[in-house]
Amino acid sequence: MSIWQDDFCRVILVNEPDYPGLCRVILQEHIKEMSDLPPAARSRLMNTVFATESALRELLAPDKINLASLGNAVPHLHWHVIPRWHDDRHFPKSIWAEPERQVRARPPVDAAKLAQLLKKTMQTC
């Protein structure tokens, strides 16, 4: 679900029950690597990643936020912004690792509230 976008990039809230609040910041243009962007565009994209992190921290108060840009399966520039808790399925490992434990799913994130916080945060970036 898209919670914010402009002509440059968009932020989607991923429907991932084990990791509520997991977002992807996706560049609109098809670019493969960060170093393919000019410096101003790199900064603009990272400001969106940081604004997403800030909004998630304010809304969810996770123990940690993970940032990842992989693109191995889909070579289109995007960032994962992942709220983490000490008792989540994979902590302290990556969410793509083998699970460490079974846990009950956390409540879903209020997408409208996250979108509102992100919009507010984007205005200060």
Confidence class for position 75, pLDDT limits 50, 70, 90: confident
Residue 101 carries which side chain, given as an amino acid letter?
Answer: R
Asked if pLDDT for residue 125 goes beyond 70, the answer is no
Taking the model in full, what pTM does it have? Answer: 0.93
Cis peptide bond N-terminal to 92, omega within 30: yes
Asked if pLDDT for residue 124 goes beyond 80, the answer is no
Query: CA nearest 33: which of 78, 81, 66, 96?
Result: 78
Q: Which two tokens stand for residue 108?
A: 């879903």
Q: Where in the sequence is the domain holding 71, given as residue range(s)?
A: 2-123
Q: Are 3 and 114 a contacting pair, CB within 8 Å?
A: yes
Query: CA nearest 76: which of 40, 37, 119?
Result: 37
Residue 107 carries which side chain, given as an amino acid letter?
Answer: P
Question: What is the average per-residue pLDDT within 29-45?
Answer: 96
| Number of domains composing the chain | 1
Instruction: Say which CATH number the domain at 99 has.
Output: 3.30.428.10
Query: CA nearest 85: which of 19, 15, 16, 12?
Result: 19
Q: Which residue in the block uniquely carries the two structure tokens 């994130």?
A: 109
